[in-house]
Amino acid sequence: MSIVIIRQDGKIGVWKAALQQAAPEIKVYSYLEDHPKDEIEVALVWKHPSGTLSQYPNLKYIASSGAGVDFIIEDSDIPKDIPITRVVDGFLASDMAEYVIAVIFAYLKNLNTYKIAQTKSIWKPKPYQRISDFTVGILGLGALGQVLANDLVRFGFKTQGWSASKKAIKGVTTYAGNEELSHFLAKTEILVCLLPLTKETRGILNKPLFEQLPKGAHIINVARGGHLVDTDLIEMIDNGHLSGASLDVFHQEPLPPEHPFWQHENINITPHYASVSDTASVVPQIVENYKRCQNNESLLNVVSMVKGY
């Protein structure tokens, strides 16, 4: 039984070294080196090239090395009927909360506007806003959304969240299901998307949804580019309904140079780095699942193929 690591971001060496340090007895291969394909029972993947997973006849499960699994589920070549696992990790959640809170404070205190003004040597004070001025609404109250919600409450933000099933989180007003979405949106002045990308949520950040937000709302998308209808966002900012957006994820990554988001002064861009799996923190759960698989025990953090997340 061995693990193959399949990813295209230059980080195979880091993951391989971390796995070998944590469990020297496990054989770990890069998909780029010569390796015995029939020995591979676990594929540890991140945005793998399509077609690579069908090369392993004895695969027992596919492990995403991040929280998202949309890129695996969307691959029509994946072996059917084997489980997919994902990462649920404390740093992944706290890093995400820190990122979103940093973005919210930059918005409240006009820091991005001043950065643009600085490049033009413009000295122009602008009224700032404070925590008590805003209600933050989180789409998705899962592993990441719940940690963010708790942190926002600690900072004193009026906080609400929306999920598929109803949640009880101290200090957070919660909504569930499509029937409660409009009530949630009506009071959300800063909207954070932390949904998984599924058939149900693709394109959810669109004009009809934006129209239900109060005028001046700000959008933060840290989930997936596929949640957002780009042209609807630009239209709703340009017509003054939305004040702007902070985006970490895009339909195409890297965001192509000709994309209008780059030049839009009310859109802030970061390069899909809001929160990244920390190998030291995540590797123990990869090893734990490997051992569970060897012992025919149930795996941790298995994705529901029915729900798609």
Among 180, 146, 152, smallest CA distance to 164 is for: 180
Nearer to ligand NDP, 2 or 160 (CB): 160
CB 192 within 8 A of CB 139: yes
The CA distances from residue 88 to 1, 96, 283, 284, 292, in Å, are 24, 12, 11, 12, 17
Residue number of the CB closest to ligand NDP reads: 142
Smallest distance from ligand NDP to CB 182, Å: 13
Closer Cβ to ligand NDP, 41 or 248, answer by number: 248
Centroid of chain to Cα 202: 13
Which positions touch ligand NDP (CB under 6 A)?
Answer: 66-68, 92, 96, 140-145, 163-165, 194-198, 200-201, 222-224, 248-249, 272, 274-275, 309
Indicate the residue among 39 and 288 with the shorter CB distance to ligand NDP: 288
Least distance (Å) between residue 139 CB and ligand NDP? 7
Is the CA virtual torsion 135, 136, 139, 141 positive or negative? negative
Least distance in angstroms from the C-beta of 41 to ligand NDP: 25
Closest to ligand NDP by CB, 239 vs 304, is 304
Q: Rounded to an integer, what distance in angstroms lies between the CA atom of residue 207 and that of residue 238?
A: 12
Question: Which of the following is catalytic: 7, 86, 218, 224?
Answer: 224
The verdict on whether 130 is a catalytic residue reads no
Least distance (Å) from ligand NDP to the CB of residue 222?
4
Which lies closer to ligand NDP via its Cβ, residue 39 or residue 278? 278
Question: CA 61 to CA 84: how far, in whole Å?
Answer: 6
Residue bearing tokens 């708790």:
150
Minimum CB separation from ligand NDP for residue 34, in Å? 32
Residue 73 is classified by DSSP as H
- Collapsing DSSP to helix, strand or coil, 46 comes out as strand
Measured CA angle at 131 (ends 184, 94), to 5 deg: 75
Catalytic residue IDs? 224, 272
